[in-house]
Structures are given as C-alpha cells and as structure tokens.
Amino acid sequence: MDNQYLMELLKRVQSGQTDLDSAMSQLKKLPFENLGYARIDNHRCVRTGVSEVIYCEGKTIEQTQGIVQRLARHHDNILATRASREVYEGIREVMEDCEYHPMARIVVINPREIDRVGNIAVVTAGTSDIPVAEEAAVTAETLGNRVNRIYDAGVAGIHRILNVREDLFQANVAVVAAGMEGALTSVVGGLVSCPVIGVPTSIGYGASFGGVAALLCMLNSCASGVSVVNIDNGFGAGYQASLINKLGIRHGENRTTKTDAVGQPERKDGTTDAKISLVKTS
C-alpha cells in the first residue's frame, strides 16, 4: 500500500466511488497484515518508498506464494531475493506477471518500466564474483537506478581497472564485489571521489575462510570512503547504493558531468578544483 494507492483511495472516497466502510476496511490493513506465518508490512512503502522485500531462503514454497499474493495486490516491482528456480516456478503458479534473474537469484513480481536515474558502478574482481554483483545490480535497477557493470577487473591484472577509471569517475557510488583477499575495494576507493561499498564474497581457497579474509581486508581498508556489507550480501549493497545515488540526485550532484583526470567535475570554463589547486601551488 504505497502513496499512490492511498491517494487513489482518498479520491475514490471523495468522489463517492468507495464508501467509508470499505475504505476503513482497507486502511485497517495499513500497518501490517497477519498471515500467521508472516506479518506483511503494508506500511513500509509509505515510510521508505520501497515495498517489503521477500527473502526466500528458509521459507516454504507455500509461504512464499502467500506473501507474494498479498504484496502483489498493492505493489509493483516487488523483489524476491535468494530465489531458486524451484521458488521461481512456485511464484509463477500464483503470479504469472513476474521475471526471473537466475544469476542474481532474484524474482521481480509485477515488473514495470520505471525511469532509471544517476549512475551506480557495480564492479567485480573476477568472473566468479558476478552472481553477488548481479544481485546488487538487479536490486539497484529495480529500485530505479542506472547501473554500469564492470566485471572481471581484479588486482591480479591492475591495468584492467585502470583502463575503466573514466567510467568509475562518472559514478555517484561504486559497489565492489571481491573474494580472495578483497583488495579491489581499496584500489577503487583510492581512485574515486564517490562512496565505495565493498561486498566480500565467499570465493577463494581455504584460508579465505568463506569470505572472512575478504571481509577483514575491506574492513581494514586504508582507502577513505569505503563501507562494507556482509559476505555475499549483494542485495544490501544494491539497496544502499540506491539510497546514496538518489540522495546525490536529490541534491543535484549527479556525476554525469565531464570530469578531469582525477575525477573532479569540470566547470564551464574547463577548470576544476584540482586544476586550480595545481595552479596555485606551482
């Protein structure tokens, strides 16, 4: 039950199309709806702008189906994360209007085209990190963000990330997914002037401890502006990147403007803060 739904309900009451008793019945479900095994947070979209997200792991197919049916009554672009092919097929049985992203393991229920704004760079160290990165990318796109994917650009071939630094300079926020020792997050953090979200992945040999080594490396990053989400938490990174990107858009700081070699935005006369600083100190 989002703001648009509430406005339409109030207009129907105002015009006489919906009587007060019917409207009250719908509004009673506003805070949450108790299904016994789940309490559907119908108010979340009004508070945060995003409807409740369904985390599928640990739920039965029947439980997931029930939650999907209730949420789909009032919301579009509902995210169901960590969804296997079996879960997707179960959702399709009760909701044909859905789209599956197998690499990201995300089902989007009632998918609708929306304007995508800003610029989020989603970067991976290796090809094996792509599933986690795709979870971040699909999440961000579904929430209305423009995403630039930069995959397999790890530090073992440092020239690969340096070759795409212009793309990084244009981003409002960068999401970096890396396993092994997770060093790519620090490298990107040392290149850009935007926030960097590190996503440690569980990719690596024995001493990587299922992503713990990458997590500790990112937490101990000496690059300023780096924050870290939990191991393999692509969804959390994509959601956080969306918040940062849209905050930048709201304040008119979209990085689609031309930048100089160190990522500083150029003014109309071609100067930047970095260039002015060089002139003053030379």
Characterize 200-235 residue by residue with b for buried, 16 or more Cβ atoms within 10 angstroms of its Cβ, and e for exposed. Answer: bbbbbeeebebbebbbebbeebebebbbbbebbbbb
Q: How far apart are CA 249 and CA 133, in angstroms?
A: 23
Which CATH number goes with the domain that contains 176?
3.40.50.1970
User: Where residue 213 falls among pLDDT bands split at 50, 70, 90?
Assistant: very high
Residue 159 and residue 142 share a domain: yes
Residue 105 and residue 127 share a domain: no
Residue 204 and residue 183 share a domain: yes
Residue 184: per-residue pLDDT: 95
Mean pLDDT value of segment 9-36: 75
Q: E strands along the chain, which residues?
A: 33-34, 39-40, 54-55, 78-81, 98-101, 106-109, 117-124, 145-150, 173-178, 196-200, 226-228
Q: Residues 138-193: pLDDT tens digits?
A: 999 999 999 999 999 999 999 999 989 899 999 999 999 999 999 999 999 999 99
Residue 100 and residue 186 share a domain: no
Q: Which residues constitute the domain of residue 239?
A: 117-250
Mean pLDDT of the chain: 84
Residue 151 and residue 107 share a domain: no
Q: How far apart are CA 80 and CA 92, in angstroms?
A: 12
Q: How far apart are CA 162 and CA 144, in angstroms?
A: 28
Mean pLDDT value of segment 70-78: 83
Residue 243 and residue 126 share a domain: yes
Q: Residues 215-269: pLDDT tens digits?
A: 999 999 999 889 999 999 999 999 999 999 988 777 775 554 444 444 455 544 5
Q: How many separate domains does the chain show?
A: 2
How many degrees, rounded to 5, is the angle at CA 99 between CA 96 and CA 104?
A: 145
Looking at 83, 113, 143, the residue that finishes a domain is 113
Pick the closest to residue 176 from 168, 185, 167 (CA basis): 185
Residue 253: per-residue pLDDT: 54
Q: Residues 97-152: pLDDT tens digits?
A: 899 999 999 999 988 888 899 999 999 999 999 999 999 999 999 999 999 999 99
